[in-house]
Chains A and B, each alone.
Chain A
Amino acid sequence: DTEVTQTPKHLVMGMTNKKSLKCEQHMGHRAMYWYKQKAKKPPELMFVYSYEKLSINESVPSRFSPECPNSSLLNLHLHALQPEDSALYLCASSLTGFNEKLFFGSGTQLSVL
């Protein structure tokens, strides 16, 4: 199993809503990532969890709240988002995080109204 599974695939939410994005992998990877990608732009790193601990927060606004309940799961909790937060949110994982390839999920296309 070399997949990173993300749900939901599409999400539309209002600025007052609370929603969560979910990500799962069963490759035994110990590093998990959240990226944000706008159209015609490269993916931008948001958060990194290493061995279930938050290692990197790229100065992401607090309306985005990551959570890593266990080594296979990664969540991104969303609250009071702005329309400019509309983007493709990508989850990725890698074995250890040290100079290696990332496996990406297919993403959640988020629209904030």
Chain B
Amino acid sequence: GESVGLHLPTLSVQEGDNSIINCAYSNSASDYFIWYKQESGKGPQFIIDIRSNMDKRQGQRVTVLLNKTVKHLSLQIAATQPGDSAVYFCAESPNDYKLSFGAGTTVTVRA
């Protein structure tokens, strides 16, 4: 069945360094991918998305890379800040009105 997973459940990063969060997906039919950030007590917050006709997309301090050949997705956060501490989820969709989520990576920023 479909599944979207993250390679590492936790990531500790020094403030000011760049963070890279990885995600593997298994549904070849997926053509839409999205990253969310979830802070304690809140719902997931949209960060950035990418469609399968692209391999890179940049936002403010974030970049998403998509490698369809190996079904891999990554989120890069530049100059990581304490406010970036949260759980990060990737999700995929084959355009069936449903998102399938990975297990999440907990990012902790060290001062």
**Do these two chains really belong together in a complex?**
no
- Interfacial residues, chain A to chain B (CB-CB below 8 A): none
- Interfacial residues, chain B to chain A (CB-CB below 8 A): none
